[in-house]
Amino acid sequence: MNILVINCGSSSLKYQLIDMEKETVLAKGICERIGIDESSISHEPAGKSKITTKVDMPDHTAAVKYVIANLTDASVGVVTSLDEIDAIGHRIVHGGEEFANSVILDDTVIAAIEKCNDLAPLHNPANMIGINSCKEIMPNVPMVAVFDTAFHQTMPRKAYLYGLPYEYYDKYKVRRYGFHGTSHDFVSNRAAKILGKDRADLKIIVCHLGNGASVTAVKNGISVDTSMGFTPLEGLIMGTRSGDIDPAIIGYISEKKGLSAEEVIDVCNKESGVLGLSGGLSSDFRDLTTAALEGDTKAADALETYCYRVAKYIGSYAASMNGVDVIVYTAGIGENNAKVREMVGQYLGYLGTELDLEKNAIRGEEIIISTEESRVITMVVPTNEELAIARETKRLTGK
């Protein structure tokens, strides 16, 4: 059985075709600059090199057509026809309070997702375009929606309510939703399996540190708190996002710089985080780590501030779960940046964590990086959101 996983952004479309018998990727790729000039598709069949082709993609339907053309192509393709695509799994950013689980897409579900568009105006409409384009081209292939927010729907009220007038929640649905749920679920599950334990018996803190970053407290197998909030802007300092700030700063800067609130929030999303802190140097941790080593004080500050915030969240979730058994790092920085894990680790001695620095230096693989004596197991578990989406799609389509 082959499942096509689609992750559709406003001008991009990422895809993976996964053979579910062996859980291997047959091909993956990305369409970029859809609806803009110079659009292109980069297609990578397993075991072969990536081919990038410039093609005219005025909309996402055109992009899906190129994806199918590449997947079924005589030389770079991996299947002979569309019939070999058994189901499609779509990554959907926001499922609101409506969706606590993945669902088969039908007209009723599509209408319910559209109702959530208001909550994620940058992401959900783009996800919907992906769904509609696939439906147009492959009307008979079953499709499943997997939501970034779903895993966090188990949070208790005390974790998701903000200290705001209750009407804002009641009427406008202002609450913590949390994101990266597919990754937090996958990684915490995998960590328990590696340890040979039942996730239901563990208190796990997952640090998903990528360009976007969030920490989740997973207690007895469910999410009980997470650092991203109403939008993905809250919580950790990220590549370009500010994370937690005093909301009064928005009004203050808007007056000082003559910007609208929306414009200041745009700065908080796109020009802040470690990019902003490093004086515009980079949002990429490889550049920042190198610059800091070469004596760039702003880059060093950005790293310090970033790690301090991660450590604060770990501490607060250890408090909210009344303990922690396992801390897991995942995503680009969590999996690859030993320095960040070491710097965060330096704040966590009081929890009884101790890193084995030799093991911590190993990159991008499943590994326990704490010492035998460490009271809290610390590990690296690479995330695989596409596989998680494919597994959900397989489960629901019953294929």
Active site residues: 148
Smallest separation (angstroms) from ligand ADP to the CB of 253: 26
Binning the chain into helix, strand and coil, the percentages to the nearest 5 are: 40, 20, 40
CA 142 to centroid of chain Cα atoms: 24
Smallest separation (angstroms) from ligand ADP to the CB of 209: 7
In angstroms, the Cα distances linking 327 to 188, 189, 191, 376 are: 9, 13, 9, 7
Smallest separation (angstroms) from ligand ADP to the CB of 76: 25
In angstroms, the Cα distances linking 213 to 86, 175, 274, 285 are: 33, 19, 12, 13
Q: Of these, 54, 115, 286, 395, which contacts ligand ADP (CB under 6 A)?
A: 286
Per the CB < 8 A criterion, the answer to whether 129 and 154 are in contact is no
Does the footprint of ligand ADP cover residue 331 (CB under 6 A)?
Answer: yes
Q: Decide whether 9 or 77 has the Cβ nearer to ligand ADP.
A: 9
Does the footprint of ligand ADP cover residue 273 (CB under 6 A)?
Answer: no
Q: Decide whether 208 or 391 has the Cβ nearer to ligand ADP.
A: 208
Q: Count of alpha carbons within 13 Å of 125, Cβ hemisphere only?
A: 6
Binding segment for ligand ADP among 106-114, 282-290, 317-325, 386-394 (CB under 6 A)?
282-290
Binding segment for ligand ADP among 108-116, 253-261, 279-287, 316-324 (CB under 6 A)?
279-287
- Which residue's CB atom is positioned nearest to ligand ADP? 332
Q: Which regions of 124-170 does DSSP assign to beta strands (E)?
A: 143-147
Backbone dihedral region for residue 270 (phi beyond 0: left; psi -120 to 50: alpha; all else: beta): alpha
Does the footprint of ligand ADP cover residue 284 (CB under 6 A)?
Answer: yes
Smallest separation (angstroms) from ligand ADP to the CB of 115: 27
User: What binding mask, one character per residue, do residues 337-356 give for ligand ADP by CB under 6 A, x or -?
Assistant: x-------------------
d(CA 122, CA 145) in angstroms, rounded, equals: 18
Tokens coding 61: 């339907």
Does the footprint of ligand ADP cover residue 332 (CB under 6 A)?
Answer: yes
Does the footprint of ligand ADP cover residue 375 (CB under 6 A)?
Answer: no
User: What binding mask, one character per residue, do residues 173-212 give for ligand ADP by CB under 6 A, x or -?
Assistant: -------------------------------------xxx
Secondary structure letter of residue 370 according to DSSP: B
3-state secondary structure labels for all residues of 265-285: HHHHHHCCHHHHHCCCCCCCH
Binding segment for ligand ADP among 51-59, 64-72, 278-286, 302-310 (CB under 6 A)?
278-286
Does the footprint of ligand ADP cover residue 45 (CB under 6 A)?
Answer: no
Does the footprint of ligand ADP cover residue 285 (CB under 6 A)?
Answer: yes
Q: Decide whether 211 or 371 has the Cβ nearer to ligand ADP.
A: 211
Smallest separation (angstroms) from ligand ADP to the CB of 212: 5
Per the CB < 8 A criterion, the answer to whether 223 and 258 are in contact is no
Residues in CB range of 31: below 8 A, 6 or more apart = 12, 13, 15, 39, 40, 41, 57, 63, 66, 67
Does the footprint of ligand ADP cover residue 361 (CB under 6 A)?
Answer: no
Q: Which regions of the chain does DSSP assign to beta strands (E)?
A: 2-8, 13-19, 24-32, 40-45, 51-54, 87-92, 103-104, 143-147, 203-209, 213-219, 222-226, 326-330, 367-368, 377-380
- Looking at residue 308, its amino acid is Y
Tokens coding 193: 């399996």
Sites for ligand ADP among residues 207-236 (CB under 6 A): 210-212
User: What binding mask, one character per residue, do residues 2-41 give for ligand ADP by CB under 6 A, x or -?
Assistant: ----------------------------------------
Smallest separation (angstroms) from ligand ADP to the CB of 106: 30
Smallest separation (angstroms) from ligand ADP to the CB of 286: 4
What are the residues binding ligand ADP (CB under 6 A)?
210-212, 239, 284-286, 331-333, 336-337
